[in-house]
Copies of this chain bind each other. A is one copy, B any other.
Amino acid sequence: MSQNRVSVELRRAYKLVNHGPTTLVSAAAGARQNVMAAAWVMALDFEPPKLAAVLAEDTYTRELAVASGELVINLPTVAQAALTYQLGSVSGRDVDKLREYGVSVSPGTKVGAPLVDGCVGWLECKLIREPHAEQAYDLFVCEVVAAWADPEVWTGSEWRFDDPAKRTIHHCAGGVFFATGERLTAPRA
């Protein structure tokens, strides 16, 4: 898949996830790579941009992220809702998920973890190790070192979801998602 990406300034990277979309987390260590779904991801700081991400203890993606100190937060679309649910329902310890589900990836620019093609946003991250938060809450602090978006839905440094299939998605539970909906502008306070 050919994948068009534009660079997002680091000081604006939080805007990629500020609306709370569900994510795909990709990681690699040596020749091993994996992708899993993760809904519990949020912005944590503006500049340098940081994210907080919950990576369950037994996941293969967490093992690879910890081994390499890197991961990518990918933002999947309505067109990828079924794929996202699949990637969250099986373990990379049991299945080569990229091969099994035909997931095409591209190399990261600042990290070894791959970018998942067909997504509309990508945040390349390095872990800021926080042993207590990781052990007590499966909570990982990530510094964003490069950020990218699909220019068809990211224009003027903000999301513009005109193509329904390219809207981001928000997971509820058990494969039920909401698409990102209508854009509203509140009057200046």
Interface size on A, residues (CB 8 A): 54
A87-103 interface bits toward B, Cβ cutoff 8 Å, 1 = contact, 0 = none: 00110000000000000
- A15 proximal to B (CB < 8 A): yes
Most central of A133, A182, A184, A188 by chain B CB within 10 Å: A184
Cα A39 to Cα B21 with chains together (Å): 12
Pair A176/B172 contact, Cβ less than 8 Å: no
User: When A85-B189, A187-B175 are in contact, do A181 and B167 touch as well, CB less than 8 Å?
Assistant: yes
User: When A19-B20, A42-B42, A189-B85 are in contact, do A158 and B180 touch as well, CB less than 8 Å?
Assistant: no
Specify the chain B residue showing the minimal Cβ separation from A88: B189
